[in-house]
Structure 1
């Protein structure tokens, strides 16, 4: 043994095998690290070949009830040490010593998500990241969910202080339907929203045991749109983790008063678990949090960014642009709240005034959730469990627009039966956004409409401009200012009783078209899946088979969703509609070359309603020339099927309808067949306006420039297809002190799903002549009620590719000091410029994290620092486009354990230098957050 290698004797002191009825025994003992005189709480002791296990308490002691006859084999493991097997064969033994070698904390981790079976993280066939209990405890992030941002290759998009969206390997979004998030293998998606609401209904901090995250495609194994990655949140089993735990966090943000006054954040959680007897156990968790959100206040003008040029050279600067479309002001949008006016012989684009986000909402965030689980063991390996979760959340969310979720409730029931060879699980998820949730954009537009209808407002603007122009000697900018003041005279003013009254009425009116802004989603799905491991029956190869069936139930709300049948049969308006998918897989794993080469192949078939079956294969190999060196390579094919929203959306956002791309939804409206690309409409209107301003008559200008209009040739939505290649290495070097994980990937997409902006004339058929067919260009120029505008869900015509690499290093050195670093690179390689829409890559080219800490700098005292940096990048979304500036932050924490009181105190903060930054265009400005957390955990690991 090398001099610096740490030999850790784990001594089972006071070992006793006490006889119970029917041959049962209790094995008791104590585990400690003799090299550092440290008791090892949290070590796992399990009976090999069964589910009987326990975890040592903080003082290293444990008790394990065993029901098998001797001899038995105990598997002893602890993060940072090499696992060891120990044979117990003598019921007269009084003490046994088991020696474990120290190793890098990452090397000994076991993961399940990569191949759906337990395996060493070193030998995973694909890239995988893991947060275990110790990593969560040591992270300076306020919660385990926030800590995901510091994992290699993970990009976090913060919609709200209580709503964060993780993504990997490009194409991020505020609703990430390409990323699958699970809790104990149960999909955590909100059906109508189409993605998880962060951790609003997930585990509490006290009940989380670990998080496994796979960057990149995993649909060949998991299906269901796991094309950008998955995360699986694993909770604590009540047989293993028993007793009472309490969590209290007090925090503060907005400390500089820049956007809001300094605000307190509070979070409380409680967990109680108990094994009633050797067969029955239960647990219950509850938590509540509240605080004040970050503020979205970007005043960048999107009018010019969208290619509009009418106001560019008419004697007014951008600062007084009468068509200003400010990002976080709503009701002033250039594509629906703007009209071209002829004023004193010149054409001007003029938009309505709108309201700032701060005028429309408060920034209170809340989350209350409860979950309960009941577990029953039929024997040492067969177990059944039932879990119920319910969460209610209030925060800000964004899809096409910013949305206030006020009382959104998600409920989930999950039932599972499993043993060492199989599992069957069924679950049901239901959401209800409640009566108080609303969409900011129709709220602002309809407050303006409640004051004055748009035709009257533009008429008043014209009169006000003409009067002011004559009075001030032709000062154009001053005339526009006076015209707006005249048209807005008597407008509802934020902070007044009249404004609050009309706002409240619109929020609680379910009609976005003209009078309301209420968000009502009442969707659900049920899901059943199973898996069987044939390894005990088929020797020499590990063979898995499995399958699932899912059915969505959608209640039409008239805004987000309608029953597509209503387009042909109005009597079906209130009928629920359904959407199903099912699939199955087979996976085989074989070790050859003296177990140095592990080969894995899987084949999955998925079928979704309205589409033909799709086949997803995966081939992977792991070559291990030595135990500590592992090289991996994989290829997989994946499909992403349209989400509910992408297929069935029917959202009127202030005159622009976001329309699902399925033929059953879009077909009756004839949009794909008869519309112009919006980019060509903008170019056409710019050219016509320039001609009119130069003295050309309107009709002549339209006729001269109509050749600029381009008819859409896009079609109904199809599944998105991905081919993904990956190479990687995992290893432990430098006498087990340095952990290295590196990977390179290349992805090739067909039929990439995105949104296309089109304009449809209200009458006529594009490309034909006679009657109204000759007027399509005139309708398009007139805009307003002469056209219908759509954001269509469809597929890109380009082949799109992206590539990148990630590297992570973790080094343990002097007296338990640890330094970690990871670097991620991502690049959009190719997309054809001729495509009408560019897939939103929305990902920094470079991201990096560096951490430094010591979990036991002094007795019971640890600390950790994390530096995060990411490059600037271009963001594209329905709300706004633009550059997200580069930023870097520093997070820190120090913790102290009061051993006798079974309490840990953590003091820390994220972005402790309080450098405000945004993670996407139109998102909130994120400042410093500072907290103190107390965790009481008296009975962990019974």
Structure 2
């Protein structure tokens, strides 16, 4: 804990420095529209992260050092305004602003691209965003549905509950390459690095906005901001007081109830709390397990041999439910510095798709405790995350285990009891042997995170610097990790910096870099650079950035199905002396050009083109005991000590992960929004993706079968996709018509295959392939969604939505059901705060 104590000491010193800051002046005023207060408008000091938002009366206040500053006032749906003010020590400068409707997009202020506020059009990255207004007009409990409407995002629906996103290729059923955060906090599982998704603690009504950065963001956010970043920002209770109650119903037995309450108690204290309970039933889909009673199936195509039997998953439970909630207490230390203490928790039951089959998620709990200090110059945080489940299991492995006992003549009760941990290899209860083939996944993992960030302007240079600490404590009780001797503890420390400099004539240069050190995969340096040119109507940019996808604890220390699949954190030795190196990080380098801007007052354009070079891919699980060789050691330790019961001559079968490959990918995204009126707008999004794979390069032979094919480097994204939306929102009525087209594409992820017929690879459409069934390519559909709602005054809102209006039988993701039509109806009551004090 020495590193943690050092970090906390640094936070304390920074807090002391803030209290000793020189005497400031104050900028205050009221932001209005049509003589009414505008609540939640952003007021920032250009070139810094100093700023404020307007309260329930439209007022704002900023404490700042004496000097002359440019203030930028913005709010989604209104034209951004810039004003120059002069601040004198100990005095108050008043600036009142009247906002004008009309700028529906492009004028937002975002923070994710540079870790400080900046105008969306001026950010040195491709970034898309949606806010509280769009979220409030979505008649669904699932905010993730709005990700389908964002440019450049690969969106898939895997059921009533499940949605997934990816950016710019290389998706999988187990994808940790897009970093997801909530209020600066990692929203990922400890051992797998996967986004929390359905396990999240966030309630829809508490989301202020979501910002999605397309492309690598590791220079500022660290490992696994590889393809992109999804940053969710919650509401401040001081600018969103009141109580909201939402009740929703839909087909598939969906019911949801949500509550949010926020209140200002005094000038110093405010709090908020939110809660949700949602339940329903997934579309009917029984995934098939192909079982071989004497060995694991190795068949890879063609006619199904008689010894392979197709069996539905044992005890499949399609019901899902989740209980989640958060609470936060805000304390204003000074007029412009806050201390925020937050807690969140969730308990979830559902079906999870993996590269090796499907998991029955049983009472999986997530908890966090988060302390933040926020001021104009200093941001500091420390938080603790807990992940816990005792009864989650792999449905395919449990089914195989159960059938092995049942077919050998064991009693039903014994077959079920032993199926969670063992598989029987034999022909009767007395002739055969039981081997450890555990299907149970227990998790009792924790993560500690700390961060200190400082920003300032020095001689015309805007500087952001920070340091982060992370300690992962993964514990599976030897059910899916090599942790029989105790929890796996891994530390990593990162240092990052970004410098912006105006070059005159609208040009700005940005450079950023990050240095990371990890206990297992060592040191990495990650640079980023950009040049932007701002015109009157928009900004052009050229960007270079790197990203890394770090091996997860699961990649490094897996122990799945009784040691059949092992992590590769320390390398292997084969019986002929061959050395298999331990994993290192996967890397991507990206060049990107783009333009964001408006034409006139009504048309907004965002276009980009990019080229990626990716290397050292993390492979799927591969058998390294080939050509008669056995695996004798893992990291210098004999295999019979790693997995008890392994023959002294070595393990004849070990599945693990390797690094391999080098591939060029490229593409372009186009987004166009046109505002017919302040209430009515249309949006068009289009994305194209391509790649170049050298099939003569043996380094690209990921599965080590002696040839390079599409199975080695699965791209797993459509070459073309597009969407068109028509959106309407007035004081009373709101609604949308959204149409999404996704081109057919092949998808390969572990045992999951969704592909057209490829004879040379033994793949046939609508036939079994290996251990799963191939239903054919993903995509190849057009979906139409419609929604409408009406506000009865300022208190009651009624809205409804039909997803997949024409009931297209859509197969969007592997190991998932056909997605049919979904209905939802939502009643929302907003009760303003009464008697609150400011």
TM-score above 0.5, yes or no: yes
**Would you tell me which structure has more helix in proportion to its own residues?**
1
2:516 matches 1:600: no
1:334-376 Cα offsets, whole Å, 9 max, x none, are 9944489xxxxxx99443425213x431100111112111111
Aligned residue in 2 for 1:932: 825
The offset of 1:294, in angstroms, is: 2.7
SS at match of 2:79: coil
Which residue of the other structure, out of 916, 934, 937, is the alignment partner of 2:809? Answer: 916
Distance 2:623 2:69 in 1: 70
Distance 2:401 2:631 in 1: 32
The within-5 A match list for 1:440-839 is: 440-453=395-408, 498=412, 502-503=415-416, 506-507=419-420, 513-514=435-436, 516-535=438-457, 538-563=458-483, 573-594=484-505, 596-624=506-534, 626-652=535-561, 657-663=564-570, 666-667=571-572, 670=573, 715-733=581-599, 735-758=600-623, 760=625, 788-796=652-660, 798-814=661-677, 816-832=679-695, 834=698, 835-837=700-702, 838-839=712-713
Which residue of the other structure, out of 354, 368, 383, is the alignment partner of 1:427? Answer: 383
SS at match of 1:129: strand
Aligned residue in 1 for 2:734: 862
Q: 1:333 to 1:525 in 2, by over 3 A?
A: farther
Q: Larger deviation: 120-129 or 712-721? A: 712-721
1:40-85 Cα offsets, whole Å, 9 max, x none, are 76452759797654345xxxx6466899999999975332222346
Contact 1:598 1:621 in 2 (8 A): yes
Contact 1:761 1:786 in 2 (8 A): no
Q: 1:72 to 1:227 in 2, by over 3 A?
A: closer
Distance 2:694 2:830 in 1: 53
Contact 1:192 1:522 in 2 (8 A): no
Contact 1:42 1:78 in 2 (8 A): no
Contact 1:879 1:922 in 2 (8 A): no
SS at match of 1:552: strand
Distance 2:713 2:294 in 1: 20
SS at match of 1:239: helix
2:748 matches 1:876: yes
Contact 1:917 1:925 in 2 (8 A): yes
Aligned residue in 1 for 2:762: none
2:797 matches 1:904: yes
2:148 matches 1:284: no
Which residue of the other structure, out of 78, 83, 107, is the alignment partner of 1:81? Answer: 78
Contact 2:180 2:231 in 1 (8 A): yes
Q: 1:447 to 1:615 in 2, by over 3 A?
A: same
Q: 1:763 to 1:99 in 2, by over 3 A?
A: closer
Q: CA RMSD in A?
A: 3.6
SS at match of 1:646: helix
The offset of 1:724, in angstroms, is: 0.9
1:548-594 Cα offsets, whole Å, 9 max, x none, are 1111112243231013xxxxxxxxx2412211211111211001124
The offset of 1:333, in angstroms, is: 6.5
Q: 1:440 to 1:283 in 2, by over 3 A?
A: same
1:228-279 Cα offsets, whole Å, 9 max, x none, are 1001100011122112111111111xxxxxxxxxx32011111111221111
Q: 1:154 to 1:520 in 2, by over 3 A?
A: same
Q: 1:593 to 1:27 in 2, by over 3 A?
A: closer
Q: 1:586 to 1:85 in 2, by over 3 A?
A: closer
2:304 matches 1:368: no
The offset of 1:761, in angstroms, is: 6.8
Contact 2:422 2:438 in 1 (8 A): yes
Distance 1:215 1:333 in 2: 44
Which residue of the other structure, out of 342, 357, 366, is the alignment partner of 1:387? Answer: 342
2:318 matches 1:407: no
Q: 1:449 to 1:413 in 2, by over 3 A?
A: same
Distance 1:877 1:526 in 2: 31
Distance 1:83 1:623 in 2: 19
TM-score by length of 2: 0.81
Distance 2:98 2:451 in 1: 42
Contact 1:112 1:119 in 2 (8 A): yes
Distance 2:342 2:631 in 1: 56
Contact 1:140 1:866 in 2 (8 A): no
Aligned residue in 1 for 2:10: none
Aligned residue in 2 for 1:458: none
Contact 1:410 1:429 in 2 (8 A): yes
SS at match of 1:134: helix
Contact 2:565 2:621 in 1 (8 A): no
Distance 2:304 2:606 in 1: 58
The offset of 1:504, in angstroms, is: 6.3
Distance 1:72 1:794 in 2: 54
Aligned residue in 2 for 1:145: 144
The within-5 A match list for 1:177-188 is: 177-188=176-187
Distance 1:925 1:722 in 2: 34
Gaps of 5+ in 2: 1-24, 88-93, 425-433, 633-648, 703-711, 756-776
Which residue of the other structure, out of 439, 448, 451, is the alignment partner of 2:394? Answer: 439
Aligned residue in 2 for 1:121: 120
Aligned residue in 2 for 1:235: 234
Distance 1:601 1:68 in 2: 26
Q: 1:30 to 1:440 in 2, by over 3 A?
A: same
Contact 2:529 2:545 in 1 (8 A): yes
The offset of 1:786, in angstroms, is: 11
SS at match of 1:371: strand
The within-5 A match list for 1:156-167 is: 156-167=155-166
The offset of 1:162, in angstroms, is: 2.5
The offset of 1:623, in angstroms, is: 0.6
Q: 1:66 to 1:645 in 2, by over 3 A?
A: closer
The offset of 1:597, in angstroms, is: 0.6
The offset of 1:25, in angstroms, is: 13
**Which of structures 1 and 2 has the bigger CA Rg?**
1
The offset of 1:533, in angstroms, is: 0.4
Distance 2:692 2:445 in 1: 38
Aligned residue in 1 for 2:787: 893
Distance 1:613 1:96 in 2: 49
Distance 1:443 1:211 in 2: 38
Contact 1:918 1:926 in 2 (8 A): yes
SS at match of 1:425: strand
Contact 1:338 1:350 in 2 (8 A): no
1:726-774 Cα offsets, whole Å, 9 max, x none, are 11010100x210000001111101211112522627986699xxxxxxx
Contact 1:510 1:520 in 2 (8 A): no
Q: 1:556 to 1:642 in 2, by over 3 A?
A: same
The offset of 1:140, in angstroms, is: 6.3
The offset of 1:928, in angstroms, is: 1.3
Q: 1:588 to 1:96 in 2, by over 3 A?
A: closer
SS at match of 1:445: helix
